[in-house]
Amino acid sequence: MLSPRVQQAMNDQLQVELQSAYVYLGMAAYCETVSLGGFAQWLHKQAEEEYGHAMRFYTFVNDRQGKVELKTLDAAPSDYPSALAVFEKALEHERSVTAAIDKLYELVHDEKDFASQAWLDWFATEQVEEEKTVGTIVDQLKMIGDRGEALFMLDKEMANRARTGV
């Protein structure tokens, strides 16, 4: 059984993960408009992964005999000035998700809900990976700068990464 405080916090994080899916979908839509199909594929896959994270919370709340609450999502932008701006925003977003997971981790610890704490370990580790992956793409886009041919190559590489899941 979840305490009311943990249940509310878990539902808040379910919303954060769904919002993440929505944000990545908006980013994918922007990349489609500028013919960066590889980036769009990668971002679309990322959106699916975020939906998967949301479903983990959905299932966990139900498994603990809690009640799922689906909250309002914010509009997700699909206008960006560049691919670099997309990934800088994605990195900022992932850092805010990490902060939310850390806060949730602290809350379940305070509530002595150790089953939730152990379950959240996966998310704490996942966020390390998310920040590293997105941060690397930001660095690569900075390296590329204005060179269209290099961006074209990275777009092909992103399609490959989306396919292989790296």
Q: Which residues bind Mg ion (CB under 5 A)?
A: 17, 50, 53
**Nearest distance in Å: CB 115, Mg ion:** 20
**Nearest distance in Å: CB 146, Mg ion:** 32
Nearer of residues 123 and 154 to Mg ion, judged by Cβ: 123
Closest CA to 1 of 118, 120, 115, 123: 115
For residue 17, the surrounding DSSP H or E stretch is: helix 4-33
Q: Which amino acid is at 51?
A: Y
The C-alpha atoms of residue 150 and residue 155 are separated, in whole angstroms, by 9
DSSP state letter for 34: T
Nearer of residues 123 and 155 to Mg ion, judged by Cβ: 123
**Nearest distance in Å: CB 113, Mg ion:** 20
Nearer of residues 17 and 88 to Mg ion, judged by Cβ: 17
User: Phi first, then psi: what are they for 165, rounded to 5°?
Assistant: 75, 25
**Nearest distance in Å: CB 163, Mg ion:** 21
Nearer of residues 60 and 151 to Mg ion, judged by Cβ: 60
Closest CA to 71 of 117, 1, 9, 29: 9
Report which residue's Cβ sits closest to Mg ion.
53
